[in-house]
Structure 1
């Protein structure tokens, strides 16, 4: 299982990490100077969630953006705050 979202295929992307020294001009300084640029990775916020797809429920990694957007239906073990049915007790 790779580091990507099950629904939207969001995966790690690349960018730069920039290190600066000095004080900004608008704060009375001489200006900011870049002292180093290195490559870095931006990882999506993936969470392991049990989702329901038809009759099958399985555990997948989904980004939080998809979870908050309501694109998944979580697996329901049982309805909360309910007792088992009377006929199943016998």
Structure 2
């Protein structure tokens, strides 16, 4: 599954792991993407959305 929210376009971001000795290695943060049934333009579709969009009510889940 693609790590991309279809609602807000949130995608993986990158940065560094920083150890106690201040050594740096690259790492990624992936968004929490869920595949849910949602009502989009009046019809039920499966969409990949992040949990932040689900929780904030940006989409309406279908039952």
TM-score (norm 2): 0.88
Structure 1 segments of 4+ aligned residues over 4 angstroms from their partners: none
Counterparts of 2:47 and 2:13, CA distance in 1 = 20
CA-atom RMSD in angstroms: 1.4
Determine which structure has greater relative contact order: mean sequence separation of CA pairs < 8 Å that are 6+ residues apart, divided by chain length: 2
Q: Secondary structure at the match of 2:19?
A: strand
Give the number of the structure whose residues are more often strand, by fraction. 2
TM-score (norm 1): 0.64
1:7-49 alpha-carbon deviations (Å, 9 max, x no partner): 00000000000111xxxxxxxxxxxx32x21000010011111
Q: Secondary structure at the match of 2:4?
A: coil
5+ residue gaps, structure 2, are none
Larger-Rg structure: 1
5+ residue gaps, structure 1, are 21-32, 77-90
